[in-house]
A = this chain, B = another copy of it.
Amino acid sequence: IRVGYPEVIYCEGKELEHLKKIVEDMLKLDKNILATRVSKEAYRAICEVTDNLIYSEVARICVINPKDIKKEGLVAVVTGGTADIKVAEEAAITLETFGNNVDRIYDVGVAGIHRLFNNLERIRKANVVVAVAGMEGALASVVAGLVDVPVIAVPTSVGYGANFNGLSALLTMLNSCAAGVSVVNIDNGFGAGYIASLINKRVAEGVE
């Protein structure tokens, strides 16, 4: 009951030996494997199993046994600041590995809102927008007020003090005064990419 093609491993909290075992087993399936939350140690452990892999340090993602993927449709991934990029890349690489075209539009938060406006035409071309923002997280509402497609909002833990590790952005996004926004867990780039992929591919492929 799993959509899309790659197998997925969530590495956080897995023992390295256990992890290597999982990767070895999956390699037999001859499919793309997407490993998320891959620390440098976990990356090195996986390298002992295979060297046929691509590692994004910023996204903490490994695409193992990478195969050619046919990409469809379009998803825009936007961020408020540069510190949100690590979460955005988790979403973007997830999207690409699941077969979606991605347009990355970073650092367009509301402190300098003209940069958002300058990119509006690009954003409007997408079937879904993934909006990634920390601190006050206002980006998702502003974007949803400007586009007609679903916005998947990802609060990040970027910030300090009354940010309470992402609670501030999370509440902002849940209370969006613009309709068309739904929200995933704090820093959950994978989750946002996954649901955005479900939507975009269904639009691109039409109903079977």
Q: Footprint of B on A, CB under 8 Å?
A: 1-3, 8, 12-14, 18, 73, 80-83, 109-114, 127, 135-138, 141-142, 144-152, 155, 157-188, 190-192, 194-195, 198-199, 202-204, 206-207
Contact = CB atoms under 8 A, between A and B. Distances in A.
A171 B167 contact: yes
A174 B185 contact: yes
A175 B163 contact: yes
Contacts of A173: 136
Contacts of A206: 203, 206
**How many copies are assembled?**
8
Nearest to A152: B182
A112 B145 contact: yes
Contacts of A80: 177
A113 B146 contact: yes
Contacts of A157: 161
B207 A194 contact: no
11 contacts: A1-B145, A8-B179, A110-B178, A135-B176, A136-B173, A137-B175, A172-B172, A181-B184, A181-B191, A199-B199, A203-B206
Given A111-B141, A113-B145, A207-B204, A174 B162 contact: yes
A166 B194 CA distance: 24
Nearest to A165: B161
A206 B72 CA distance: 13
Nearest to A204: B207
Nearest to A1: B146
